[in-house]
Amino acid sequence: MVTWACASALIGPLLLAELRTRSGWRYQLSRWSFVFPLGMYVVASHALAQADGLSFSNRIASAFFGVALGAWALALLGLSRRAFGGVSRATPTT
C-alpha cells in the first residue's frame, strides 16, 4: 500500500514534467517515458484492488485506464506519422 501511495504521489509531477517539455505537441521518443508509467500505475492499482479487495483502487484503475490508453494512442499516432513521413523533419542549419 505504501508503494502504491508513493506511485500515486508521483503522478502529478510526471504530468507537470510532460506539460513543461519544450517540444510542444510534436512527437519525441521521450513521450513513451510518460506513457509507460501511466500504464504501470493502472496495472498496479488493479492488482492492489484484486489483492486487498479495495474498491476505490479498482475505480482509480478504471479511470486511469482511459487516460493511459489516450496517452498511448497519441504517442503511437505521433510515432506512426513520423515513421511514415506524415511530419516533415526540420533540417538543422550549421
Give residue-wise pLDDT tens across range 43-93.
Answer: 999 999 888 887 888 888 999 999 999 989 988 888 888 888 755 555 555
How is the chain split into domains, by residue range? 29-83
Rg from Cα positions in the chain: 16
pLDDT at 91: 54
Half-sphere exposure of 87 (CA within 13 A, CB side): 13
For the record, the C-alpha cell of 33 comes out as 517515458
Give residue-wise pLDDT tens across range 15-34.
Answer: 888 777 766 667 777 788 88
